Amino acid sequence: MPAKRSPARRPTMKDIARRAGVSESAVSFALNGRPGVSEVTRDRVRRVAEQLGWRPSTAARQLSGEGAATVGLVVARPADTLGVDSFFLQLISGIQEVLAERHLGLLFQVVEDVDAECGVYRRWWAEHRVDGVMVVDPRTDDPRPDLLDELGLPAVVIGGVPDARHPGLSTVWADDAGAMAAVVGQLYALGHRRIVHIAGLPGLAHTERRIRTLRTEAERRGLCEVRSVTTDYSDAEGAAVTRRVLAEDAPPTALVYDNDVMALAGVTAAAELGFAVPADVSVISWEDSALCRMVKPWLSALSRDTVGFGRKAAEELTALLDGGPARTVQVPVPRLIERESTGAALDSQPRPRGSGSAG
Amino acid sequence: MPAKRSPARRPTMKDIARRAGVSESAVSFALNGRPGVSEVTRDRVRRVAEQLGWRPSTAARQLSGEGAATVGLVVARPADTLGVDSFFLQLISGIQEVLAERHLGLLFQVVEDVDAECGVYRRWWAEHRVDGVMVVDPRTDDPRPDLLDELGLPAVVIGGVPDARHPGLSTVWADDAGAMAAVVGQLYALGHRRIVHIAGLPGLAHTERRIRTLRTEAERRGLCEVRSVTTDYSDAEGAAVTRRVLAEDAPPTALVYDNDVMALAGVTAAAELGFAVPADVSVISWEDSALCRMVKPWLSALSRDTVGFGRKAAEELTALLDGGPARTVQVPVPRLIERESTGAALDSQPRPRGSGSAG
DNA sequence: TGAGTGGACTAATGCGCTTGAGTACCTAGA
DNA sequence: TCTAGGTACTCAAGCGCATTAGTCCACTCA
């Protein structure tokens, strides 16, 4: 027995029908803009509905065959990893802009891992809760596309690479490979030959793509002291890896971080070891956020329109919901914005100076 | 006509009834644990249901009087202000932990302002979308409690101060006043007499409470060079205010920032003006996050368990949904964690040294 | 033997909405 | 005058579930 404070009762179509002196069906026709009622009646019904503050009950509507008017988004990341970077809230903001227009709700859930995520999809599907979902953090060897196919749940994969095996899924993606190539190109032009890429979570599709591209680009230029190290995206691991690689005999002269948080943690760690940025080591953040302009030196970063990314994804999903075909759309390649943390490489072998002695 | 890929059909109670050889009512009784069926039948029905992967349709359930099994959360902040601080995603993580257990969905929406937020509540109410809502960022002179009373929508206010005028609302709050008193006390003990509080958005209840407490505490100690300045929480304004107050003839020796982002922007701005932290000016961040340990000097911060805060709030809401009474519960007072950004005040009047000349 | 009792189950209704199948009325054409 | 074809509606069924009011069948006790 739910808490009740005897509030205003919600008006139903029956109320409107009574007040307008027509049948419920007429009200339905009038309100849904379908033929079968005269313009006068339609107007009258509309006015009564508005006056009563009526809104269709999504439950009832759904029960009679329409959708749930809701889309789902589940992110599978531990809580602490989630909070730090600004990506998700930005993305969600963009998604909302589009959904709000169409009066679609967003069902949001955070879970621990992909298995749990699949469980959520199953439940949502069985409970008729959502009409479609947005999938983030696509992985190599990802179980979700197959599942969504099986359930017949319309979905758009955000940040995935186009995948011919799942023609039912839309994909919205940015060309990370192209961006990585540009980064390597620019660092190379600045004279950098030893580059370390502090990557994100190993299973993620875009992580793997960046790693692969880095290797390809390095090989193409004959660089052998170029590599990637995966992390969990946290500031702690970002700092730890930074300390480790800078302590090597021939430390890298450029560091590329897969998010803003690690980049910041990295410059701080580098500074503690006596490495000046960008004099001794250049730093690039893959994510551009307010953070990058809040520290000195300002961080050079790959900038993309995350809000727009979310908007685009939501548009694709609504198109799918309207019965449109699955599509693959590409958003603009992230642009490298050079600020203060990148510069020419030193010719000589850099040696840590100052306080911190590398262990 | 929605996109269909002729997927698996969702099983209904009718399917179960057929397979188990009983009526739909028996299935309902069996599955909802109410009397009217034998234990053998109940078991059999349960087994069939599980085997079929059945889950109750929330829509149908709702239509027959139960709730929507969903709670709502709307945050009214512009997208760019939202992304930066980690508070919301942490809060949501906590909320989810509790909701997931009870199979409650979270309908999430971000809007521009409180008016829009009220509109969302009205719509959700009329559409039967949610059973209750969580209200964040309570304000002085807030229209939302009245509205929620009027709609009879169970709600818990997160971070509000207990309000006797709305006995229907639960409140989960932290004692910001006590925390501010502690901060002032500690700064006073360190010898600080000129303190500026770089506050958040002016309309917010906790902003006003902190400002009021700061003034009270200052008066109690006879300090007249203590004041608050409100901002929009952005790094830009945080930096701007910092620059402005440090350029004064008798600049403050301690700065208290209402979030981590502004605190970070503040120390950077201070450094550019030649102020060393904490030698020339002490800095405290009201929000403790990874950020605070990612910069040198590490930021002293008021730490609270944001995830736990969200958990607590969700628990109160579910209690309300279960028909419990509205309550006011307090979470632990934020604790001041002193790191490297706070220290004793200089006796002498500090003067900017070094590069930056204040304009 | 018949009335009474309680346990196990079925039938029927309603929630708010959509929708296909009518129905009543009007006009036009043969 | 009768029919064909609209138009503007109304009726009734059904979506998946909960729930109230039965129904049927032992079984007990007088």
* Lowest-confidence pick of A284-288, A293-297, B169-173: A293-297
Beta-carbon-side half-sphere exposure of residue B265 (alpha carbons within 13 Å): 26
> Measured in angstroms, what separates residue B59's CA from nucleotide D17's C1'?
9
What's the average model confidence in pLDDT over A339-350? 80
Q: Does the CB of B25 fall within 7 Å of any strand D atom?
A: yes
Q: Is the pLDDT of residue A304 over 90?
A: yes
Beta strands in chain A (DSSP E): 70-76, 105-111, 132-135, 155-158, 170-174, 195-199, 226-230, 254-257, 282-285, 300-303, 328-331, 335-337
User: What is the C-alpha R_g of chain B?
Assistant: 26
Taking residue B37's Cβ as centre, other Cβ atoms within 10 Å add up to 20
Mention every residue, 6+ apart, whose C-beta is less than 8 A from residue B20.
B26, B27, B41, B44, B45, B48
pLDDT of residue B290: 85
Closest nucleotide relative to residue A66's CA, C1' based: C18
Q: Is the pLDDT of residue A356 over 60?
A: no
Give tens-digit pLDDT for A241-256.
999 999 999 999 999 9
- Judge if the upstream peptide bond of residue A162 is cis by omega within 30 degrees of 0: no
Produce one character per residue of A208-244: b if its CB has 16 or more CB atoms within 10 Å, e if not: bbbbebbbebbeeeebeebbbbbbebbbbbbbbbbbe
Contact criterion met (CB < 8 Å) for B128 and A268: no
Q: How far apart are CA B154 and CA B164, in angstroms?
A: 16
Cβ contact A110:A48 at 8 Å = no
Give tens-digit pLDDT for B174-194.
999 999 999 999 999 999 999
CA dihedral A92, A94, A96, A99 (to 10 degrees): -130
Percent share of chain B, pLDDT over 90: 79
Q: Is the pLDDT of residue B5 over 60?
A: no
Highest mean pLDDT among A2-6, A146-150, A345-349: A146-150
Give tens-digit pLDDT for A107-126.
999 998 999 999 999 999 99
Give tens-digit pLDDT for A40-94.
999 999 999 999 999 999 999 999 988 899 999 999 987 666 666 678 888 999 9
Q: How far apart are CA A131 and CA A105, in angstroms?
A: 10
Q: Is the pLDDT of residue B1 over 50?
A: no
Q: How far apart are CA A123 and CA B55, in angstroms?
A: 7
CA of B242, closest CA in chain A: separation in Å?
13
Q: Is the pLDDT of residue A182 over 90?
A: yes
Predicted confidence band at A347 (pLDDT cuts at 50, 70, 90)?
low
What's the average model confidence in pLDDT over A203-226? 96
CA distances from A303 to A224, A299, B28 (A): 28, 11, 54
Q: Is the pLDDT of residue A220 over 80?
A: yes
Mention every residue, 6+ apart, whose C-beta is less than 8 A from residue B98.
B311, B314, B315, B318
pLDDT of residue A294: 87
Q: How far apart are CA A240 and CA A231, in angstroms?
A: 10
Strands A300-303 and A335-337: antiparallel
Q: Is the dihedral angle over the CA atoms A171, A177, A180, A185 positive or is it negative?
A: negative
* Lowest-confidence pick of A270-279, B141-150, B350-359: B350-359
pLDDT of residue B80: 66
CA of B349, closest CA in chain A: separation in Å?
27
Pick from A65, A56, A71, A43: which is nearest to A15 by CA?
A56
Highest mean pLDDT among A87-101, A210-224, B6-20, B345-359: A210-224
Q: Which two tokens stand for residue B237?
A: 């304004």
List residues bridging with B115 in a β-sheet: none
Q: Is the pLDDT of residue B357 over 70?
A: no
Q: Which two tokens stand for residue A261?
A: 């948080």
pLDDT of residue A359: 34
Percent share of chain B, pLDDT over 70: 92
Predicted confidence band at B12 (pLDDT cuts at 50, 70, 90)?
very high
Give tens-digit pLDDT for B180-232.
999 999 999 999 999 999 999 999 999 999 999 999 999 999 999 999 999 99
DSSP per-residue codes, A146-206: HHHHHHT--EEEESPPP-TT-TT-EEEEE-HHHHHHHHHHHHHHTT---EEEEE--TTBHH
Contact criterion met (CB < 8 Å) for B110 and A90: no
Q: How far apart are CA B191 and CA B198, in angstroms?
A: 20
Check residues B3 and B252 and name the one with the higher pLDDT.
B252
pLDDT of residue B89: 86
pLDDT of residue B104: 95
Residue numbers in A 110-139, CB below 7 Å of strand D? none
Highest mean pLDDT among A200-204, A250-254, B342-346: A250-254
> Measured in angstroms, what separates residue A39's CA from nucleotide C29's C1'?
28
Q: Does the CB of B58 fall within 7 Å of any strand D atom?
A: no
What's the average model confidence in pLDDT over B250-275? 95
Closest chain B residue to A128, measured at CA: B57
pLDDT of residue B164: 80
Q: How far apart are CA B161 and CA A233, in angstroms?
A: 36
Q: How far apart are CA B13 and CA B29, in angstroms?
A: 11
What's the average model confidence in pLDDT over B39-65? 93
Q: What is the mean pLDDT of chain B?
A: 90
